[in-house]
């Protein structure tokens, strides 16, 4: 599903943030990406989400090399992944329904299909009935679940999460992780960047550990 | 809430096969469904952008007023030229020559002079206008009758109107004829009517050209103001654009509401400009008609016609869209998710 082959990323003013990173995330596999701040977690996510391009090496998603992908193709590649953020990145002036529907609207789905899928996604994250609420009126955990519903509504084969539980207490974090496991069980590949060691240790999943830009475990 | 959940589950259970086939599809349904979705998307962008424009009443109002004034000025210039052209357009460029005789020439000598001119085979007709006839005509048509009565002496000269035969249309032989007249002792000066029609025409051309230039500059201003408005709007909605990009929106998708926003700005400015122009014209109508009445009603104020109003609106919309598009083309690439 996702393959890093000798990937390095160098910034002119910061030097090498990633150095010869190799790993392969299988379809339906769940893995944690961990390491100290500045170890390169975000850079890896940025490379996958095509916000940055690798300086050397190849990032392959579904067999396609993201380094050579054309600018015009980026939106279509991004539809193959659901992104989840620490700060949720929800549109505050739109309802929960509209937030979750956004990827479907962008992909050009019809009205009925959108309605059906959004409700299915909200049902999965336990927010059915809150479609008409605005994000501001929801708790942090609920907002993150809206973010997750938005990430999975288009049924992408892969989910990327950047510190998804960073703003949540341990109980809520555990709930969110259980949610991720449910998605994994239906064949979605999941990569979660986090520095929450206790959370990682409680769960039995692959751990990719970064140290100063190099993969030391994984 | 629970009820809704149950209901939903029941619906799902009733049609599982259909749901399953749809799930495997990458994007939504049949072609007609997609077309309907696309239409809905356009309609939504059209009306939501109008809503956005109207919700920021003060800012939008100021922008649209400035744009409307610029467009109204350009339209105003156009109308001034159009109205003046209506005045000069009636003047036929005849090749009549007017000979203004010297003041001391008596009527009898003038008549003899006219006869000699008539004998020239290249002249078609000659008409003598005496001082008295000229005065009568002047008093009747100019509206300065009282002023003329106040003068002790008739200041108007005797005029001989000479119409050459059509064979003499070319300018060289006309010039020779003019020189000949100018040198004769009876003539104060000779003037070709065509000459001053030409001159007036030249002045009109300049006015026309200037109006076009000024309008282009004003159009450019409209373009830049719209562009700047869109740039600000884009900045306000930065967060939204970034999120849309992250969930796979194409530039076309992101641009759409902004282009409609530009369209609405252009359209509303056009409508407002039309109102300004129409009100100004209505205010001017009466004084101009009054003046025209004093000149035998030869002139009537001309408003914008249907097609001209339509072009005004179309050009306004086009400027709004093009101004937005140019900014989006440049700025959307700069807006990258971080």
3-state percent helix, strand, coil for chain B, nearest multiple of 5: 75, 5, 20
Domain boundaries, chain A: 1-80+156-218, 91-155
Between β-strands A158-162 and A81-84, what pairing exists: parallel, antiparallel or unpaired? parallel
* Cross-chain Cβ contact B249/A106 below 8 Å: yes
Tell me the pLDDT tens digit for each residue of A126-163.
999 999 999 999 999 999 999 999 999 999 999 999 99
Rounded CA-CA distance B221/B219 in Å is: 5
Rounded CA-CA distance A78/A160 in Å is: 11
Chain B: residues touching A (Cβ < 8 Å):
1-2, 4-5, 8-9, 12, 19, 22-23, 27-29, 33-34, 36-38, 40-41, 239-240, 242-251, 253, 336-338
Domain boundaries, chain B: 30-90+200-331, 97-168
With tokens 């030229």, the residue in question is B81
Q: What pLDDT sits at residue B249?
A: 93
Chain A: residues touching B (Cβ < 8 Å):
49, 51, 72, 75-76, 78-79, 83, 89-91, 102-111, 113-114, 116, 119-120, 123, 128-129, 150, 154-155
Secondary structure (H, E, C), chain A: CEEEEEEEEEECCCEEEEEEEEEEECCCCEEEEEECCCCCHHHHHHHHCCCCCCCEEEEEECCEECCCCCHHHHHHHHCCEEEECCCCCCCCCCCHHHHHHHHHHHHCCCHHHHHHHHHHHHHHCCCCCCCCCCHHHCCHHHHHHHHHHHHHCCCCCEEEEECCCCCCCHHHHHHHHHHHHHHHHCCCEEEEECCCHHHHHHCCCEEEEEECCEEEEC
Tell me the pLDDT tens digit for each residue of B240-263.
999 999 999 999 999 999 999 999
Q: What pLDDT sits at residue B203?
A: 87
Say yes or no to pLDDT of B18 above 50. no
Say yes or no to pLDDT of B159 above 80. yes
Q: Which CATH architecture has domain A1-80+156-218?
A: 3-Layer(aba) Sandwich (3.40)
Q: What pLDDT sits at residue A65?
A: 93
Average pLDDT over residues A43-56: 92
Chain A CB contacts of B45 below 8 Å: none
User: Judging by beta carbons within 10 Å of its beta carbon (0-12, 13-18, 19+), is residue B27 exposed, middle or buried?
Assistant: middle
Say yes or no to pLDDT of B15 above 60. no
Six token digits for residue A154: 């288009």
* Cross-chain Cβ contact B8/A109 below 8 Å: no
pTM: 0.76
Q: What pLDDT sits at residue B23?
A: 36
Average pLDDT over residues A187-200: 91
Phi then psi for residue B206, to 5 deg, are -65, -45
* Cross-chain Cβ contact A106/B4 below 8 Å: no
* Cross-chain Cβ contact A120/B248 below 8 Å: no
Size of interface A-B (CB pairs under 8 A): 87
* Cross-chain Cβ contact B22/A129 below 8 Å: no
Which CATH topology does B97-168 take?
A: Alpha-Beta Plaits (3.30.70)
Say yes or no to pLDDT of B95 above 80. no
User: Judging by beta carbons within 10 Å of its beta carbon (0-12, 13-18, 19+), is residue A80 exposed, middle or buried?
Assistant: middle
Tell me the pLDDT tens digit for each residue of B100-139.
888 888 888 888 888 888 888 888 888 888 888 888 877 7
Chain B CB contacts of A116 below 8 Å: 19
Tell me the pLDDT tens digit for each residue of B34-79.
888 888 888 888 888 898 888 888 999 999 999 999 999 999 999 9
* Cross-chain Cβ contact A106/B244 below 8 Å: yes
* Cross-chain Cβ contact A106/B248 below 8 Å: yes
Name which of A31, A25, A28, A24 is nearest A187 in CA terms. Answer: A28
Say yes or no to pLDDT of B12 above 80. no
* Cross-chain Cβ contact A109/B240 below 8 Å: no
Say yes or no to pLDDT of B10 above 50. no
Average pLDDT over residues A102-109: 93
Q: What pLDDT sits at residue B16?
A: 39
- Angle at the Cα of A139 from the Cα atoms of A134 and A144, rounded to 5 degrees: 85
Tell me the pLDDT tens digit for each residue of B282-305.
999 888 888 888 776 667 788 899
- Angle at the Cα of B333 from the Cα atoms of B332 and B334, rounded to 5 degrees: 90
Tell me the pLDDT tens digit for each residue of B179-237.
888 888 888 888 887 777 778 878 888 998 999 999 999 999 999 999 999 999 999 99
Mutation target among A106, A156, A161 for the B interface, most CBs of B within 10 A: A106
* Cross-chain Cβ contact A79/B248 below 8 Å: yes
Higher pLDDT, B135 or A187: A187
* Cross-chain Cβ contact A123/B5 below 8 Å: yes
Inter-residue contact B330 to A44 (CB < 8 Å): no
Say yes or no to pLDDT of B324 above 70. yes
Mean per-residue pLDDT of chain B? 82
Phi then psi for residue B249, to 5 deg, are -80, 140
pLDDT level of residue B7 (50, 70, 90 thresholds): very low
Point out the residue among A76, A103, A110 whose CB comes nearest to the CB of B37.
A110
Q: What pLDDT sits at residue B91?
A: 62
Tell me the pLDDT tens digit for each residue of A51-83.
999 999 999 998 899 999 998 999 999 999 999
Rounded CA-CA distance A34/B89 in Å is: 84
Point out the residue among B2, B41, B243 whose CB comes nearest to the CB of A91.
B243
């Amino acid at each position: 599903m996702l393959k890093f082959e000798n990937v390095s990323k160098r910034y002119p003013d910061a030097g090498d943030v990633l150095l010869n990173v190799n790993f392969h995330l299988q379809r339906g596999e769940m893995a944690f990406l961990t390491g100290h701040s500045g170890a390169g977690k975000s850079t890896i996510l940025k490379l996958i989400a095509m916000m940055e391009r690798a300086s050397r090496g190849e990032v392959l998603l579904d067999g396609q090399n993201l380094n050579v992908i054309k600018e015009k193709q980026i939106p279509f590649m991004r539809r193959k992944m659901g992104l989840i953020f620490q700060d949720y990145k929800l549109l505050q002036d739109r309802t929960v329904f509209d937030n979750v529907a956004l990827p479907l609207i962008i992909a050009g789905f019809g009205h009925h299909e959108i309605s059906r899928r959004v409700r299915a996604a909200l049902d999965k994250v336990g927010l059915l009935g809150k479609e008409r609420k605005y994000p501001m009126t929801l708790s942090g955990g609920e907002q993150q679940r809206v973010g997750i519903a938005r990430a999975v509504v288009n049924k992408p084969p892969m989910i990327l999460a950047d510190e998804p539980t960073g703003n949540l207490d341990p109980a809520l974090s555990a709930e969110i992780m259980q949610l991720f496991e449910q998605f994994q069980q239906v064949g979605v590949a999941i990569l979660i960047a986090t520095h929450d060691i206790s959370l990682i240790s409680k769960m039995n999943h692959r751990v990719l550990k970064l140290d100063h830009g190099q993969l030391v475990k994984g | 809430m629970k009820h809704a959940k149950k209901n939903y589950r029941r619906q799902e259970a009733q049609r599982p096969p259909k749901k399953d086939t749809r799930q495997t599809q990458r994007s939504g349904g049949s072609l007609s469904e997609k077309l309907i979705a696309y239409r809905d998307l356009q309609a939504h962008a059209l009306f939501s952008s109008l809503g956005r424009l109207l919700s920021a009443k003060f800012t939008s109002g100021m922008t649209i007023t400035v744009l409307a004034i610029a467009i109204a000025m350009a339209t105003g210039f156009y109308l001034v030229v159009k109205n003046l052209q209506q005045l000069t357009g009636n003047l036929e460029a005849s090749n009549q020559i007017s000979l203004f005789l010297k003041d001391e020439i008596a009527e009898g000598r003038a008549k003899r002079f006219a006869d000699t001119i008539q004998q020239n085979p290249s002249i078609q007709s000659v008409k003598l206008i005496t001082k008295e006839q000229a005065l009568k005509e002047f008093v009747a048509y100019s509206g300065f009758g009282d002023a003329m009565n106040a003068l002790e002496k008739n200041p108007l000269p005797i005029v001989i109107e000479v119409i050459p035969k059509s064979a003499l249309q070319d300018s060289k032989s006309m010039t020779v004829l003019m020189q000949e007249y100018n040198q004769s002792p009876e003539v104060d000066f000779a003037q070709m009517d065509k000459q001053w029609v030409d001159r007036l025409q030249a002045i009109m051309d300049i006015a026309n050209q200037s109006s076009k230039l000024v309008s282009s500059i004003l159009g450019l201003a409209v373009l830049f103001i719209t562009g700047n408005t869109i740039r600000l709007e884009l900045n306000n909605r930065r967060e939204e654009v970034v999120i849309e990009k992250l969930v796979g929106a194409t530039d076309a998708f992101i641009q759409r509401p902004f282009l409609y926003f530009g369209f609405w700005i252009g359209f509303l400015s056009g409508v407002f400009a039309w109102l300004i122009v129409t009100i100004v014209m209505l205010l001017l109508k009466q004084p101009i008609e009054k003046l025209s009445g004093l000149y035998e009603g030869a002139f009537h104020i001309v408003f914008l016609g249907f097609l001209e109003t339509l072009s005004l609106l179309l050009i306004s919309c086009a400027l709004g869209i093009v101004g937005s598009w140019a900014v989006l083309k440049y700025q959307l690439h700069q807006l990258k998710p971080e």
